[in-house]
Chain A
């Protein structure tokens, strides 16, 4: 049991942390609701409640296009990486074909290496393929990294399904596909959801790779758009804040929607066999 003082003290600490965390967010959101051009001198605090900054950022600021590009990139990466990683991890964890261990260690290396290390090779690689400034440049490198992470993540999920479950279903008459579809997949679903959410967040927030690989503004993603926007509208705080809110909104929505499976999946995935 915590004593009274301990409880009070921890409440105070939590409150301070919460204020430090929330202050910039509150400032950002309130600033975003300013009128366009209504504030050129700095940050405001609930001066008005206007959507004009949002519509300015969305249309003139080009955020509608940025969001579209980001959505196409993110959805492609999430869908493809989940499909490929789940199948590959199933093979690595349970079928164990020759060379699968090697693939597994390559996968770990693939997502452990910081993106700063990989961005230069990717640049030359994609340039020689003529893929710079295309959707391929946005999708392929991040897909590779997400698959690498997904194999690692789903491998432990598959290993945590008790072996007896698979064996019982085999004795019940299941084919290999039945076992995968009816027994394994439902049992690793929390880990699949967590993986999808994580990959979604990482891909949506990606900055360095798109920055280097896509320099043409007509294919900018939100993070690039925001950086670019900041340069062009450095004194239009309302529009800047609105752009930032627009860029972050999907991430927040996905996080809130998947919060429960996110946290349970973190634990489900962590029981490595």
Chain B
């Protein structure tokens, strides 16, 4: 059992592509660290560097206090669950799980006991004599886990282990993986491109984009205090409303499109904003931090309702205003559609507000939304960094 330390880890592929750049990260013993980011951002590469399947172009990797930067995979005592499980098709489930023990010349008797224990934990006892081809996706997933935990590795790596399962099974397996991780209690790196999965599973979550670590923090911190536009846009579903705004030179008003809001609450939360007086910057508002104006005199953002998604417990109200929307510049990836937060797929380039299920609004209606400026996020328009 040990921690994992990445120091300025960098990977440049032979074709010159920089897949991972200067990543610094420390995963404590027993911690479950989720590595999240859109596909193509370098998650798999980083994980393979930890496993020793990919050479390290720069920086260092430590497991415990041992520098393993150039150690062979075998010497690292790392177990990995592959995205497609990588089960040995010619071996039975029992042989698959016991394979690491067989390679370590563990006695038949001991290995049998360990396989039985692992199979018990994973609910595979009845299928030990079958072959991988005869199992369902969820069962194969468990076998891959079993093979990883049976030898009690120092470090546990999982690369999108749930991405091949259907939605319902995915939710079930999330809980199961958490349970098993707590039980084996080793430093774990869990890779996913699904921010919901990241938020629900991680002790801490590291957001990766274009090979660079954007922020590493607890799920709540990522949600409440995103370090930059990329994290702000990636974490949360529907994602944060990001629009251009100006602070008047006297620091009194916040101008969002043609709407004027009082700036004092925002300035109180974000003192750094004073430096932006008379300038344009980016504001971010979570959908739940907006409410329908009841008093026509209260400063609000005026707009027209485009679409309403009724989720039963709440309404997602999409509306457009005359404010200019901002998107963080995210490197395009082949299947970027899949990674777009849900709200961005729907309707127009507008705002999303999360309102109570019984709120009386209709599509086409003119509305005025009052933002909770005590929860306003502000970002520098050029660097994308949060203004604090």
Indicate if the CB atoms of B84 and A164 lie closer than 8 Å.
Answer: yes
A189–B78 Cα gap in the complex (Å)? 29
Asked whether any CB of chain A lies closer than 8 Å to the CB of B147, the reply is: yes
- Closest Cβ of chain A to B85, distance in Å, is 8
Of residues A168, A169, A174, A186, which shows the largest number of chain B Cβ atoms within 10 Å of its Cβ? Answer: A168
**Residues of chain B contacted by A175 (CB below 8 angstroms):** 74
Report if A167-B88 is in contact (Cβ < 8 Å); known contacts: A173-B100, A178-B103: no
Q: Tell which of A165, A170, A189 touches B88, judged by Cβ atoms closer than 8 Å.
A: A165
How many chain B residues touch A (CB < 8 A): the figure is 19
Q: Are B74 and A164 in contact (CB-based, < 8 A)? A: no
Looking at chain A's contact residues, the main secondary structure is: helix
Asked whether any CB of chain B lies closer than 8 Å to the CB of A17, the reply is no
When A169-B99, A171-B51, A173-B104 are in contact, do A162 and B86 touch as well, CB less than 8 Å? yes
Residue B223 at the chain A interface, CB threshold 8 Å: no
**Closest residue on chain A to residue B91 by CB atoms:** A186
Assess whether B78 is in contact with A187, with CB atoms less than 8 Å apart: no
A172 touches B90 (CB 8 A): no
State whether the Cβ of A126 lies closer than 8 Å to any Cβ in chain B.
no
B120 contacts chain A at the CB level, 8 A cutoff: no
Within 8 Å of chain B (Cβ to Cβ): is A183?
Answer: yes
- Are the C-beta atoms of A167 and B89 separated by less than 8 Å? no
Q: Among the interface residues A173, A183, A187, A189, which one has the most CB atoms of the partner chain B within 10 A?
A: A173
Chain B residues within an 8 Å CB radius of A182? 99
Q: Which of A165-220 contact B (CB under 8 A)?
A: 165, 167-175, 178, 182-183, 186-187, 189
Q: How far is the CA of A172 from the CA of B90 in the complex (A)?
A: 16
Closest CB of chain B to A169's CB: distance in Å? 7
> Is B79 an interface residue, CB under 8 A from the partner?
yes
Interface size of A by CB at 8 A reads: 18
Interface residues of B in 54-93 (CB under 8 A from A): 73-74, 78-80, 82, 84, 86, 88-90
Contact A171 B79, beta carbon cutoff 8 Å: yes
- How far is A170 from B73 in the complex, measured between Cα atoms in Å? 7
Residues 142-166 of B, flagged 1 when their CB comes within 8 A of A and 0 if not, give 0000010001000000000000000
- The reply to whether the CB of B53 lies closer than 8 angstroms to some CB of chain A is yes
Contact B90 A186 (CB under 8 A): yes
A164: contacting residue among B86, B104, B147, B151, CB under 8 A? B86
Q: Given B53, B90, B103, B147, which contacts A167 in the complex, CB threshold below 8 Å?
A: B53
Q: A174-B103, A186-B90, A187-B89 are in contact. Are A168 and B84 (CB under 8 A)?
A: no
Quote the shortest CB–CB distance from A184 to chain B (angstroms). 10
Q: Are B103 and A168 in contact (CB under 8 A)?
A: no
Tell me, in angstroms, the Cα distance from A189 to B88 when the chains sit together: 14
Once the chains bind, are B84 and A162 in contact (CB under 8 Å)?
A: yes
Chain B: which residue is nearest A161 at the CB level?
Answer: B89
* Closest Cβ–Cβ distance, residue B133 to chain A (whole Å): 13
- By beta carbon, the residue of chain B nearest A165 is B86
Find A171's partner among B80, B89, B104 (CB 8 Å cutoff).
B80
Residues of A within 8 Å of B82, CB to CB, are 164, 167-168
List the B side residues contacting A171 at CB < 8 Å: 51, 53, 73-74, 78-80
Least distance between B282 CB and chain A CB atoms (Å): 41
Q: Compute how far the CA of A189 lies from the CA of B99 in the bound complex, rounded to whole angstroms.
A: 19
Q: In the complex the two chains form, what is the Cα distance from A169 to B86 in whole Å? A: 9
- Chain B residues with Cβ under 8 A from A178's Cβ? 103
Q: Are A167 and B86 in contact (CB under 8 A)?
A: yes
- A172–B99 touching, CB < 8 Å: yes
A170 near B74 with CB under 8 A, answer: yes
Provide the residues of chain A in CB contact with B103, threshold 8 Å.
Answer: 169, 172-174, 178
Chain B residues within an 8 Å CB radius of A169: 88, 99, 103
- A110 → B minimal CB distance (Å): 31
CB-CB nearest in chain A for B104: A173
Q: How far is the CA of A175 from the CA of B74 in the complex (A)?
A: 8
Name, among A167, A178, A189, the residue most crowded by chain B CB atoms within 10 Å (CB to CB).
A167
Q: Which residue of B lies closest to A164 (CB)?
A: B86
Contact A168 B74 (CB under 8 A): no
**Nearest-CB distance from A139 to chain B (Å)?**
32
Residues of B within 8 A of A164 (CB): 82, 84, 86
In residues 62-78 of chain A, which contact B (Cβ within 8 Å)? none
* A215 shortest CB reach to chain B, Å: 47
Cα-based distance from A171 to B86 in the complex (angstroms): 12
Q: Which residues of B contact A165 (CB under 8 A)?
A: 86, 88
Instruction: Across the interface, name the chain A residue whose C-beta is closest to B102.
Output: A182
| Across-interface contacts of A162 in B (CB, < 8 A) | 84, 86
What string of 1s and 0s marks CB contacts (under 8 Å) between A135-172 and chain B? 00000000000000000000000000010110111111
Collect the chain B residues with CB atoms within 8 Å of residue A186's CB. 88, 90
Compute how far the CA of A174 lies from the CA of B104 in the bound complex, rounded to whole angstroms.
9
Find chain A residues with CB under 8 A from B51 CB: 171
Least distance between A158 CB and chain B CB atoms (Å): 15
Residue of B nearest to A186 (CB): B90
A120 to B78, CA, bound (A): 58
Interchain CA distance A175-B103 in the complex, whole Å? 9
In the docked arrangement, what's the CA distance between A162 and B88, Å? 10
B110 vs chain A, min Cβ distance (A): 16
| Contact between chains at A172 and B100 (CB < 8 Å) | yes
Say yes or no: A183 contacts B88, CB within 8 Å. Answer: yes
C-alpha spacing A7/B367, complex, angstroms: 69
What CA separation (Å) do A26 and B375 show in the bound complex? 91
Q: Which residues of A contact B104 (CB under 8 A)?
A: 173
Complex: A175 Cα to B105 Cα, angstroms: 13
Return 11 A-B CB contacts under 8 Å, by A number.
Answer: A162-B84, A164-B82, A165-B86, A167-B80, A167-B86, A168-B147, A170-B73, A171-B79, A172-B79, A182-B99, A183-B88
The 7 closest A-B pairs by CB, nearest first: A164-B86, A168-B86, A172-B100, A186-B90, A173-B103, A164-B82, A170-B73
Which A residues have a C-beta under 8 Å from some C-beta of B? Answer: 162, 164-165, 167-175, 178, 182-183, 186-187, 189
Q: Taking A174-B74, A175-B74 as given, write out 17 further A-B residue pairs in contact, using a Cβ cutoff of 8 Å, ordered by the A residue number.
A: A164-B82, A165-B86, A167-B80, A167-B86, A170-B53, A170-B73, A171-B53, A171-B73, A171-B78, A171-B80, A172-B100, A172-B147, A173-B74, A173-B104, A174-B103, A183-B88, A186-B90
